[in-house]
Amino acid sequence: MTVLSDCDRAHIETALAGRIVRCVGMGDGVNAALSGLILADGRRMVAKRALSNRAARLDLEAAMLRTLAVHAPALPIPRVHIGTVDLLVMDWMPGGEGLTTAAEEHLAELLVGLHAVQADTYGLGWDTVIGPLVQANPPTLDWLVFFRDHRLLPMAELVVREGRLPVSLRRRIDQLAARLPSWLEAASPPSLIHGDLWSGNIISKNGRVTGVIDPAIYYADPEMELAFGTLFGTFGDAFFRRYHEHRPIQPGFFEVRRDLYTLYPLLVHVHLFGGAYVVAVQRIVDRYVG
């Protein structure tokens, strides 16, 4: 387990104007290690340190957290104190409870508010990250073009180059991409999304969401967020009922568009883990292109 260096500790203590009295390793992730910090004055922080063999771009993560804090102040985002390329220090968020029915309903209300933040174009104007991967976010007027050319096809190309996805399957993804207008003819206006919402990035306690972390933000059709939330069973019936009450989900999402939108995060997981995620991609492509 990676721990903070003396240099990191000195940097943090200077920035926070406080002495670290306890530092506990919280485990190594895909591209960074987490440490829990307690300061002499009782403040609690989380430090995220890039692993030596990964370019984590924690400065981009910090920028995304700060953007969410400004544009969606109701969302419980940890305050960022340090945000450099390889070190991120932010407030600790109290949690320890899974997503109960009440917490799912609260999350739905929070996301309705987030998705009400809109822009003139899809994308963002600056690149963000999802895990260790950079996401290109050029401002784009057409959602289908953005999803196809800046999410689906670039990620498919990356995992093919890495040898993690068969070339034959990549060709069939190209066929699916050519037919996207058949399924994505009408999109919602560009809405700000978290971009990587699964249970590990949602902190809750006493039936309330107390923290949302590890964003991968951009302006998208909000169905992209909803689809991602079904991929690992994060969003359940309680979430979708409450979300639909405040922001109606358009017909065809569950039947048609959801699986299409999950292709992007599945391909990200092919890059990270390979294996069963290739089978999941294959299954979806088979459904749409036969």
Instruction: List residues with catalytic annotation.
Output: 196
Question: 252-279 b/e with 16+ CB inside 10 Å = b?
Answer: ebeeebbbbbbbbbbbbbbbbeeeebbe
Give the separation between CA 117 and CA 145, rounded to whole angstroms: 21
User: What residues are paired with 129 via a beta bridge?
Assistant: 134
- Strand locations in the chain (E): 20-28, 32-39, 44-50, 80-83, 87-91, 128-130, 133-135, 191-193, 202-205, 208-212, 218-220
Give the separation between CA 244 and CA 239, rounded to whole angstroms: 9
Question: 102-112 b/e with 16+ CB inside 10 Å = b?
Answer: ebbbbbbbbbb
Give the separation between CA 35 and CA 211, rounded to whole angstroms: 17
The 3-state secondary structure of 31-83, one letter per residue: CEEEEEEEECCCCEEEEEEECCCCCCCHHHHHHHHHHHHHHCCCCCCCCEEEE
Count of all residues that appear for the chain in the document: 290
Closest by CA to 125, choosing from 150, 144, 148, is 150
